[in-house]
Amino acid sequence: MTKSQMIKKESCFNFIMNIYDIALSQIFQELTWLKENNSDIISNVTKRIKNPDSIMKKMKKKHFQNNYTNLIERIDDIAGIRIVCPFKENIYTVLKLIKEIDSIYILKEKDYIRKPKKSGYSAYHLIIETPVNVNDTELLVKVEIQIRTMAMDFWATNEHDIRYKTNKKISIFDSKKLSFYARILNILDDKMMKLRKKQNFKSLQFFKT
């Protein structure tokens, strides 16, 4: 590949990433507004864009040919937003609110809360599209939205660091430990939610008397 071809390829990649960044900023703004108006059920909203190395690794792992068509059409999580809620029941309330946003078109949904991954991972995933205006042309750009509880986020963040940010591959025994810890946190999640509901019920009864 010549130097001019490399420059052209890099310029094209940066242009595509810029479009994803615009889409991400638009959705992040919508969800930040949602948090400000529903602070009791949304604790935090964060965003990120995959770096070039992560994108290439994912395409290689999925055995996709390395081209822009596959990047755009087959990689769904280049742009990502994470919403963290206090309790599980909040997740489904937030999901309903997201579906009411006009600029969000839902493509895929995966409920890893009712059916966690084998690793123990739990969350609610959405792949959405949002319109972005580029040179007077409207493009639909994909963004992944993950909705988790605080407990789910604690486990997922640490599991990712343990599994992928160390030099050595995690053992089967330690992998089973992580799955076991996820189940414990899931039980705690449920117990905390029940306790919260109990206290809310008591408060309602107090005001009725």
> pTM for the full model?
0.88
For domain 3-152, give the CATH superfamily: Beta Polymerase, domain 2 (3.30.460.10)
Q: Which of 10, 89, 129, 144 is catalytic?
A: 144
144 is catalytic: yes
Question: Residue 136 has which token pair?
Answer: 């007077």
Decide: helix, strand or coil at residue 143: strand
Domain ranges of the chain: 3-152
Cα separation of 195 and 190, whole Å? 9
Q: Residue 123 in contact with residue 113, Cβ under 8 Å?
A: yes
Strands (E), the chain: 44-49, 79-85, 105-111, 124-134, 137-149
| pLDDT tens digit at each of 209 positions of the chain | 554 454 456 788 999 999 999 999 999 999 999 999 999 999 999 999 999 999 999 999 999 998 999 999 999 999 999 999 999 999 999 999 999 999 999 999 999 999 999 999 999 999 999 999 988 899 999 999 999 999 999 999 999 888 877 767 888 999 999 999 999 999 999 999 888 888 765 555 544 55
